[in-house]
Amino acid sequence: MGVTLATDVGGTFTDVVLTGPDGRVTVAKTLTTPDDPAEGLLRGVRTALADAGAEPGEVTRFVHATTLATNVILERTGVPVAFVTTGGFRSMLALGRQARVEEDRYDRFYAQPEPPVPLTHTFTVPERIDASGAVLTPLDEDAAEAVADQIAALGVSAVAICLLHSYLNPAHERRLAEIVSARLPDGTPVVASCDVWPELGEYERATTTLMSAYVGPVMAAYLRRLEGRLRDLGITAPVRVMESSGGVLPAALAADRAVYTIESGPAAGVVAAARLGARRGLADLVCFDMGGTTAKAGLVRGGRPGITHEFQVGGKGSYGGRRPGTGVPIKAPAIDLAEVGSGGGSIAWADAGTLRVGPRSAGADPGPACYGRGGTLPTVTDADLVLGYLAADGFGAFTLDESLARAAIEEHVARPLGVDVTSAAAAIHDIAGAQMGAAVHVVTVRRGIDPRAFTLVALGGAAPTHVVGLAERFGIGRVLVPPHAGVGSAAGLLHADLAIERARTFLAPVARLTSCSASRDAFGELADLLASLERGARADLSASGEAVVVRSVGVRFIGQAHAFTVDLPAGPVTPETVQRAAEEFYKRYHESYGIDLRDPVELTTARVRVTLPGDAPPSPRMDPVPSPCATRRIWLSGDWQDVPVRARTSHAPGETFDGPCVITEPQCSLLVPSGWHGTVDGEGAILLEARP
């Protein structure tokens, strides 16, 4: 085993984690360079290699998580795209699905967002396929050629095609793609929905296909540049990119399916939490990932992260940023996360006598006031520094200036609200905690799940400072803080498996498949479809040997629009396996909604996920490094207290400690209040438990 490098580019920080054959981990944390994300990444790579004493040529695996796809969609910086759909549906994207939530409900001047593609770049062709896949109106090839000429005249960089019911019969889409491609310069991407995500739901399928065309060229260009610059550095290992559902993809496949990478970084954090919990016998976890810009929460139940197959990019509202109709819907597998705009860099300000925190962020440039990089607005990090939770010299390569933090809080919060700086800082900290609690609330309480039986896992540079307060808010009595928690998502990439999922609509009432007269042809069709999806996924990964294959189906009540995904057992598809899937659906429906229905159900989708397990590096024991125990004055329970402060590396395996105290490491600071007891395990992870 050679050297593995894992990198996670976030909105504020870029994290780099390196591990070698002995499993020892070297960490580098640098500020993200928004204008050229690769610049900050390469700076971190060089630092990690130097600190580990490793040569670039020793790197055999390079895994990358990036927010590039998300940022391109949110900032609308993708390539010019044309969109083609079935005649009569030209206004589909312009109409969309809109939901006015939160403050927008009361905005008399609310303006509906512009569609992702203007009508000037939207075209239709005469054709029609019905819901059974039968051709009602053949594709008008003369009209298609005319549309292709119009698209060519626009000079677009990519084309997206989504025709009605092409998930059942892709013939028209494929022929139209051939006609359009012939009129465009060589290499211009023409993306068909039947190749991106062939499922029912024309609007979501259209937006997913469109975003794939919109982001794909940007992602491809970025990955080419990154690979070239890594080669210049001496790293020739193939680049793999984290996809949204917790696996990694080869760079070429990630460029072709850029929408698969939208939740790239947060997914790595949940995968890391699941693996950490599994090694400690903890199967039910809430992953709390707080970085500089946002805080995310994800659920792990029975050792498996929750997966969703539809989410919103740029969504807003009290549903963790995923309120349907408030963003761009994406149909692709992703770890189910709730996200709020509350991170260490979230800006605090007084608004008409009310304290507001986030979602505006100081970002990487200029960053919080205490960074001394020109920022003058107070942030959550500034508040935590003033309250004593962070040390001026305990933030890696960054030296924090408390005087700048106090001045920013005084000017923008304390003075306008008529309070002292300490009270203002404490209020900023508390409000940020309440907002982060909204993300945990979405993935637990709002779904009928009692979080008190779960373990809260802290990942991200700001999470350890806030995690125990968050646990107390929900009555959670156990908190796990892994080693290198400040770069937890990047550390999770070290263990990520190569994986991909394929799916296709398969509509069939369960009663027809499980009745005494059930046709073997029906099961043969489902079995053939699952086998075909598996072959396609294996081909994507070039997987010819041992792989983990998980087959599943979408199940819903007949007449409803949404389905649960239920796993199928290994082996032949039989009436019994389909009936067991239906019973699992009834169980999950009751758990989710508290309603015990036994109405008829139907299958909606066949899915196959193929995974090539990665080689997990060994986990060495942490050798304690003796260091003196200092004392620091911090704000706790409405008063200043002197508490012990120790480096995490000074704790021996099995050592215990009691709060209040502060445990420090270069990338984060763990605040342990009174009433909590901690134990350090052999890998350096800290398990905190509330005292009865």
Q: Quick: pLDDT tens for 638-686.
A: 999 999 999 888 888 888 999 999 999 888 899 999 999 999 988 888 9
The residue whose two tokens read 């996200």 is 339
Position 573 scores a pLDDT of 87
Q: Which residue in 1, 234, 193 sits closest to 83, CA to CA?
A: 193
Position 384 scores a pLDDT of 95
Apex 502 CA angle, 499 and 507, nearest 5? 150
Q: What is the mean pLDDT of residues 10-20?
A: 86
Position 559 scores a pLDDT of 85
Query: Residue 96: is its pLDDT beyond 90?
Result: no
Q: What is the mean pLDDT of residues 588-600?
A: 88
Position 397 scores a pLDDT of 64
Local confidence band at 322 (pLDDT 50, 70, 90 cut-offs) = low
Q: What is the mean pLDDT of residues 535-548?
A: 82
Q: Return the structure tokens found at 112.
A: 């509906």
Q: What is the mean pLDDT of residues 229-258?
A: 90
Residues contacting 616, CB < 8 A, separation 6+: 494, 495
Highest mean pLDDT (candidates 390-399, 601-610, 679-688): 601-610
Position 639 scores a pLDDT of 93
Local confidence band at 264 (pLDDT 50, 70, 90 cut-offs) = confident
Query: Residue 446: is its pLDDT beyond 60?
Result: yes
Position 387 scores a pLDDT of 96
Q: What is the mean pLDDT of residues 229-242?
A: 94
Position 336 scores a pLDDT of 86
Q: Return the structure tokens found at 587.
A: 């169980």
Rounded to the nearest 10 degrees, what angle do helices 171-183 and 141-154 cross at?
Answer: 40
Query: Residue 314: is its pLDDT beyond 90?
Result: no
Distance CA 506, CA 518 (A): 16
Position 518 scores a pLDDT of 59
Query: Residue 494: is its pLDDT beyond 90?
Result: no
Query: Residue 321: is its pLDDT beyond 80?
Result: no
Position 423 scores a pLDDT of 96
Q: What is the mean pLDDT of residues 681-692?
A: 89
SS3 61: strand
Distance CA 187, CA 193 (A): 18
Decide: 442 and 467 in contact? Cβ < 8 Å.
no
Decide: 632 and 645 in contact? Cβ < 8 Å.
yes
Q: What is the mean pLDDT of residues 420-433?
A: 95
Query: Residue 623: is its pLDDT beyond 70?
Result: no
Query: Residue 520: is its pLDDT beyond 80?
Result: no
Q: What is the mean pLDDT of residues 99-114?
A: 77
Give DSSP secondary structure letters for 167-222: TT--HHHHHHHHHHHHHS-TT--EEEHHHH---S-HHHHHHHHHHHHHHHHHHHHH
Position 618 scores a pLDDT of 57
Q: What is the pLDDT of residues 121-150, one digit of tens each?
A: 999 999 999 998 999 999 999 999 999 999
Local confidence band at 624 (pLDDT 50, 70, 90 cut-offs) = low
Q: What is the mean pLDDT of residues 439-443?
A: 88
Amino acid identity of 676? W
Query: Residue 395: is its pLDDT beyond 70?
Result: no
SS3 548: strand
Decide: 69 and 12 in contact? Cβ < 8 Å.
no
Query: Residue 362: is its pLDDT beyond 90?
Result: no
Distance CA 161, CA 566 (A): 30
Question: β-pairing, 337-340 with 328-330?
Answer: unpaired
Higher pLDDT, 339 or 201: 201
Query: Residue 586: is its pLDDT beyond 70?
Result: yes
Local confidence band at 109 (pLDDT 50, 70, 90 cut-offs) = confident
Residues contacting 221, CB < 8 A, separation 6+: none
Distance CA 609, CA 499 (A): 7
Q: Return the structure tokens found at 256.
A: 């072709």
Q: Which residue in 14, 2, 27, 26 sits closest to 64, CA to CA?
A: 14
SS3 string, 424-449, reads HHHHHHHHHHHHHHHHHHHHCHHHCC
- Mean pLDDT of the chain, nearest integer: 88
Position 619 scores a pLDDT of 58
Query: Residue 319: is its pLDDT beyond 80?
Result: no
- Rounding to the nearest 10 degrees, give the CA dihedral for residues 91, 96, 102, 103: -20
Q: What is the pLDDT of residues 28-77, one digit of tens each?
A: 988 888 888 899 999 999 999 999 999 999 999 999 998 888 888 877 88
Local confidence band at 516 (pLDDT 50, 70, 90 cut-offs) = low
